[in-house]
Amino acid sequence: MRNTKKIAAVAAALFPFAGLAAPVSAYRVPTVEAFWIVGPQGHLNPGTTVTIGARGRASSGPVWYQFREATVHGWKTLRGYGPNNVLSLGRVTQPAEVVVTALTPQEVRLHQYWRARTAVDYLNVGSRVSLASPQGVLVGETVTITASAKNLLSPVYQLWYETPQGHWSAAGPYQFSPDLHWTPPSAGQYRLVVRAKDRTAPPTAVADRVAAAENVTVRPVMVGFGNYVQSAATPGTALYDLAQHGSEISIAAPLWYTLSPNDGTLSAAGAQSQAATVISQAKASGDQVWPVISASGDPGSGFDGGHAIEQLVQDAKASSYGGYVLDWEGLDTADHGYLRFVQALAGSLHQAGLRLMVTVMPENPAYPVASLAKSADYLDLLTYPEYRTTGSIAPNPGPTEGLPWVKTSLNALHGVPAHQVVLGMAPYGQSWIYTNAGFQSAGSVAITDRTIETALERQQGAAVFDPVEGELEISTGPLATVPAAPLDLNPTVFNPSVANLQFLLTTVLLRYDLAHHLTPGSPLATDGGYGPATQAAVAAFQKDYNVITTTPGIYDAATAAMLQQVVDSENIGDTVTWDENSVGPSPATTATSLLQSLATSQHLAGVSLWRLGYQAPGFWLTK
């Protein structure tokens, strides 16, 4: 009995107009089983005569119809429930949303409106949508496209883009804000359109209003680091290249600021004396200026970059910078103070409509790349120099930035979208001098490509192109003297003559492999120890040059004589230079083109040059 009363009470609350019997009798009330409307389709010109018809089918008996309309002035009922299924609106002059509902007469009398079938006709009268497309867009740069809709009741917007390959994609869902954000994933010619519709309208071609397509050229990132102090009329300088090749550069990055890692003090470099000239030239070339903030070493306990950030934002606004490049090198530990500074700097810059690029070192845990990518717009991966001319008693000669090393470094950028990655390129070479006394010196540190190319044109050095490393290897200097045999075979004791042997074997075996169309191996470490790698290299030399020996892999008198003969005939000197970007055997096989092709194939944002002006004159022809 108690349960019966509870059921009755609930039923009375749910069906107040029909009494307690309503839930039982409702199953016998005829209902509308099918319902549709016929009205104008597409977009209407103001003054169009509109008639809307409705048609329904009930389980038994007739169907009644109600017509309501929403305009910019609100909702109103055009006709209440009745059997008339046609409504003429006359000449329409404004957008409207016509809602037709259908019930059976019995449902209307019982006030069972919740059972109504509903259909909507959207009258897009004189509706239009337009968009303001951005200019000078870079790969990976998030830009804002502003749309404008007219004669839509409650418009929502959606951005679509066509890729250079002809594929259309939505940049996101419909949204109320007319400010739509888009990050182009690669360079090329895009087409943008904005779809706008009433908020409740379906996303169909009939309901949507589409803006005319806008063409947008997205440029790859090309950062040119430099001092920008010499005259623009002086070849081999950053200002000269900005003036002559500005259309191929997108960001000029002058070295204008120094940040103290101890206390966060920001200092301006004297090179800012040319600031007005740099900004003017960049603007004339359609480029942005992102000054470099240089720092080195782990942040000290008293580091506070707050005042520096305020100053940087003020300077950017005053001088119309597009952003900054934070080049913080020499980090040894994963210091959270560094990450907090990057996050604070990025937040302040973004709030001011500015961008941030952060340089990172390959496979160095002190640079938390995934976290940095969440704050910075770009990460500039500085994979140079791979081999160094300093740092040990016998530094290993090798590429400035070999392809295998670059690929490994890129693969280690876990959690970083490709369109945020800029590949750093070093248009310079390095050289090493070895004799039987071991490593003598670096013949020259950071020899510009311009200098190297001029020397090669004068036939100063025998150059070969290593297709595996993607760099030139150049032998210069006085003819090398090979070590006297025999040598101490101890792998753990440093022997300067062994270091010289390792140095010469790398040079000789590379040339042999190239001459016989073999794949070159990696440069041999000049560690001065006669270990397994050195034995294998000696054995390879003996086999290649038919040295008769009873002890393969052991450097004996016959091997020494043959090695000296090869050194003399190949004109191999005591100095070797590896160079990244000078012109190789043909434009298609320059290190420049290989690295840029790698950046393109991996859909990176672009490349950077340290420094602009170092590159050979042919650089701009082989891009």
Rounded to whole angstroms, the Cα distance separating 171 from 353 reads: 21
Q: How far apart are CA 453 and CA 402, in angstroms?
A: 19
- The CATH 2.60.40.10 domain(s) of the chain lie at 23-125, 128-219
* pLDDT band for position 436 (cuts 50, 70, 90): very high
User: What is the C-alpha separation between 450 and 425, in angstroms, rounded?
Assistant: 15
Amino acid 623: pLDDT = 53
Compute CA distances 343 → 357, 377, 386, whole Å.
12, 11, 29
Q: Please tell me the distance from the alpha carbon of residue 189 to that of residue 163, in angstroms, as a whole number.
A: 7
pLDDT band at 457 (very low <50, low <70, confident <90, very high): confident
pLDDT at 444: 63
Determine contact, residues 67/53, Cβ cutoff 8 Å. Answer: no
In this predicted structure, what is the pLDDT of residue 593? 77
CA distance linking residue 413 with residue 429, whole number of Å: 26
pLDDT single digits (tens) 283-303: 999 999 999 999 999 999 889
pLDDT-based confidence at residue 582 (cuts at 50, 70, 90): low
Per DSSP, helices labelled H in 352-460 are: 369-375, 403-411, 449-457
Q: Tokens in use for 307? A: 């005042």
Average pLDDT across the chain, whole number: 89
Sequence-ordered alpha helix ranges (H) in 352-382: 369-375
User: What does the alpha-carbon distance between residue 152 and residue 171 come to, in Å, rounded to a whole number?
Assistant: 22
Highest mean pLDDT among 31-45, 399-413, 435-449: 399-413
23-125 classified as CATH 2.40.50.140: no
Tell me the CA end-to-end span of the chain in Å, nearest whole number. Answer: 90
* Residue 115 exposed, middle or buried by CB count within 10 Å (0-12, 13-18, 19+): middle
Contact 609, 225 (CB under 8 A): yes
The C-alpha atoms of residue 471 and residue 399 are separated, in whole angstroms, by 7
Q: Is the pLDDT of residue 25 over 70?
A: no
95: CB partners within 8 A, 6+ apart = 71, 72, 122, 123, 124, 125, 126, 127, 151, 152, 153, 198
Q: What is the pLDDT of residue 167?
A: 95
Query: How far is residue 81 from each of residues 33, 38, 103, 109, measured CA to CA in Å?
Result: 17, 18, 8, 10
Q: Spell out the alpha helix ranges (H) of 352-442.
A: 369-375, 403-411
Pick one of 3.40.50.620, 3.40.50.300, 2.60.40.10, 3.30.70.360 as the CATH number of 128-219. Answer: 2.60.40.10
Rounded distance between C-alpha atoms, residue 223 and residue 81, angstroms: 69
> Closest by alpha carbon to 142, among 346, 284, 371?
346
Q: What is the pTM of this model?
A: 0.83
